[in-house]
Amino acid sequence: MANRKRPAAPAKKAPRPSSRSSSTAVGGAATAEIHQTESAPDRRITTNHGVPVSDNQNSLKAGPRGPSLLEDFVLREKIQHFDHERIPERIVHARGSAAHGFFELTKSLKKYTRAKVLTDVGAQTEVFVRFSTVAGGAGSVDTPRDVRGFAVKFYTGEGNWDLVGNNIPVFFIQDAIKFPDLIHAVKMEADRGYPQAASAHDTFWDFIGLMPESTHMVMWAMSDRAIPRSYRMIEGFGVNTFRLVNDAGEATFVKFHWRPKLGTQSTCWDEAVKIAGADPDYHRRDLFEAIDAGAFPEWEFGVQLLSQEEADALPFDILDATKLIPEELVPLQIVGRLVLNRNPDNFFAETEQVAFLPTNVPPGIDFSEDPLLQGRLFSYQDTQLSRLGTVNFHQLPINRAKGCPFQNLQRDGQMQTQVFQGRANYEPNSLAEAGEDGGPREDPAGGFTSFAQPVSETKVRLRAETFADHYSHARLFYLSQTEWEQAHIASALVFELSKVTLVHVRERVLANLQNVDETLAVRVAAGLNMELPEPSEPAAEPQDMDESPALRIIGKYVPTLEGRMVGILVSDGADGRIVKALKKSCEAEGATVKIVAPKIGGVTLADGNLLPADGQLAGTPSVLFDAVALVLSEVGCAQLVNEGAAVDFAFNAFGHLKAIGYTKEALPLLEKAGVKTDDFVIEVTKEKDAFVEKAKARLWEREPGVRPSNYFPAA
């Protein structure tokens, strides 16, 4: 591993986020300002019933790395209050899209688990998958810079299994007790009600600067992962560490992964902003139309498996949700596939009413002591009670167990839809001895059994010392990116922090960034025209880890047109033979082709035939396509060269690094739009389709010329 020189400390000093571990908090939020309240009782945090709170950063656990305890009334009250803040919309992940499909196991994990969904090769399990943004409300747009939810409900023969994850493998916080604070900080500011679905504001970055444990997740959130091209083109992660338990009661740690068959693809930031205006439902429409057309999205299902000994040997703690396990250290094993092949029949009844619970696991899958996961086990169930209004939400068709009988002795409750017979509503009972139905019984052999993890620790509100390193994985992620992706992270940080009005908040973030990478901090400071403050003092000295190319997007997947969309702008008098040849060659590569014309009625081609349009120019800009072609006549180009929407069509396609095909008659429009010839600006004819190969990717080498601010100062 390379040793990198620590940056020299400039004169200007930023406030230091302190941390506490076994003797002092490792959460990073315990700052001097917060500790001042200890000497001012009238400003102390209390429970809703007035009990002073000694620690608002850590949940109560059996030892620093032990499971969270049910008696933690501070955690339960805080999260319960948060879960019930707003109804009926989800507090987070409110804007979502979903589809039905199936999961098929291709490789048995019987050595590690007794869960049949992961042992019976070839068996197909019905699933319902919901994708979502996190911060925005149900009425927000699809393309903000945000985390994307990736939640899968497996209707297994042993009960529902809900794998509730994201398109990013880590999270902002280490302990669930901080989740209400995180979401309060990123949501609309409490006094003004904006911004909606955006993290570029004071309260979010104030929280981030005071919580160094969030730094790794911030790197991902500022990367291209947070502005995906499509739900069909995102990776998915279970985020938390789980356990698999086999027939012998032996446990193996597991991380769950989804890999899109179409490859991971993102938009450019400027493109994402413009898509929001052109089509607020861009991702929702894309998913629905792809399934409707029979282009079923597909993912590979992979696992990373570790024994307790292998986990203990890692230079970080796998119970810490702000850390990931590099695939170069623990390779990903592909064991199944997920296919989405049916759209919901009713958005409200299915997509809106579906309730995912991390507590839904079949026998053979179990939890770890990850304090973020431990809090989720309580919070999801609780929030569904508020949002769906009844303890019987599991009886809704979309939530009902389908692969097995659902039976217990719980009765009544609001909106009870089942009509139970007999007297047995308690257990144990001896009614069967009198010939009556005594109801279901527990199954000691086949029922769910928790892994027998020894617990013998003192009750504490502390983070484990192994959670103290907040920067090594952030550094790993940043240094593993290509130069283009590093530039995007720096540019995103500049954009976000430029919206922050509190100077000390910007300074604190810059102080923390220096623990990630000096060049990154210099870039961001230059973009803000600020001097670098003194680096913040980390709770644990950052370590250099071997770079992980698996963390990149650019260059990770083979270029393809499958699942992509190509737009062809046409005018009256255009050569229909070229349009037909382009459409045929693009569709042969798996692309969807849409004809864009000045008017929705279409254009009259040179041969006199009418070519219908799929979109009108002003309402179908190039940001909606992965590549574009301009097939114009001389007269048509002369008309469009003075049309702002046509100029923007070419200008934005070039600025967003896309391939542009053109007929020679379209050259005046390209010139007006400032499009310069390069390898991805290609003349098209009815015989020549070199455009198709270029349309499979973006030309990242073009970016420094069209958006130089992303690359100043040079890396």
What is the rounded distance in angstroms from the CA atom of residue 501 to the CA atom of residue 517?
24
Pair of tokens at residue 217: 């997740």
Contact in structure between 619 and 671 (CB atoms under 8 Å): no
Measured in degrees and rounded to the nearest 5, phi and psi for residue 136 equal -80, 160
- Active-site residue flag, 166: yes
Measured in degrees and rounded to the nearest 5, phi and psi for residue 242 equal -115, 175
Give residues with Cβ within 8 angstroms of 621, minimum separation 6.
274, 278, 645, 648, 649, 652
Alpha carbon distances (Å) from 255 to 151, 258, 362, 367: 15, 10, 16, 11
Q: Give, as one character, the DSSP assignment of residue 271.
A: H
What is the rounded distance in angstroms from the CA atom of residue 528 to the CA atom of residue 683?
41
Which residue of the set 58, 160, 166, 652 is catalytic?
A: 166
- Specify the 3-state DSSP secondary structure of 525: helix
Give residues with Cβ within 8 angstroms of 402, minimum separation 6.
126, 155
Count of residues for the chain? Answer: 715
Which residue of the set 58, 93, 488, 710 is catalytic?
A: 93
Pair of tokens at residue 704: 């420094």
Residues 108-140 as b/e (b if ≥16 CB within 10 A, e otherwise) read: ebeebbbbbbbbeeeeebebbbbbbbbbbbeeb
* HSE (side-chain half, CA atoms, 13 Å) at 404: 15
Can you list the alpha helix ranges (DSSP code H) found in 11-66?
A: 32-35
From start to end of 172-264, where are the E strands? 236-237, 242-245, 251-260
Contact in structure between 652 and 670 (CB atoms under 8 Å): no
Pair of tokens at residue 144: 């903000």
What is the rounded distance in angstroms from the CA atom of residue 534 to the CA atom of residue 511?
6
What is the rounded distance in angstroms from the CA atom of residue 500 to the CA atom of residue 199?
10
What is the rounded distance in angstroms from the CA atom of residue 55 to the CA atom of residue 75?
10
Burial status of residue 407 (CB atoms within 10 A of its CB: 0-12, 13-18, 19 or more): exposed
Give residues with Cβ within 8 angstroms of 594, minimum separation 6.
565, 566, 567, 568, 614, 615, 620, 625
From start to end of 280-390, where are the E strands? 298-306, 333-342, 365-367
Contact in structure between 611 and 597 (CB atoms under 8 Å): yes
> Cα 14 to chain center, whole Å?
31
- Active-site residue flag, 93: yes
Q: Which residues are catalytic?
A: 93, 166
